[in-house]
Structure 1
Amino acid sequence: MSINSIQAGQAHASAHARPVALKDKLVAALMAASLGAVLLFGAGFASMEALHNAAHDSRHSAGFPCH
């Protein structure tokens, strides 16, 4: 092996991403769930006719009652 290939291998090994902590995963999951709930219930309980019509088929396909 040449010195260049050893240095390239060491550079490649140090470029790996660090493992994601469980706390970071939970925070991301809770934020995504919160955003989803806000969007779902915001569209579900909106009284604007345009929003109702735009979200109508999506709500029915998700099983969310709107009538």
Structure 2
Amino acid sequence: MSIRSVITTADEQVPFAAVKERIVQAMCAAGLGAVLLFGAGFSSMETLHNAAHDSRHSAGFPCH
């Protein structure tokens, strides 16, 4: 594989399928972010505390 095949220039056009994949990935990331943001915003504080507490224990960090 040459450097030319890896580096694209301004003259080359990106195929529509590649642009479509990037748009789908961006929309999925935005959707996941919205779910996490609103999920944290509308859940009770006890639920968030328990989730953070369990995450710390599963990662091996002490929290007490």
The TM-score, its normalising length taken from structure 2, stands at: 0.49
Higher gyration radius (CA): 1
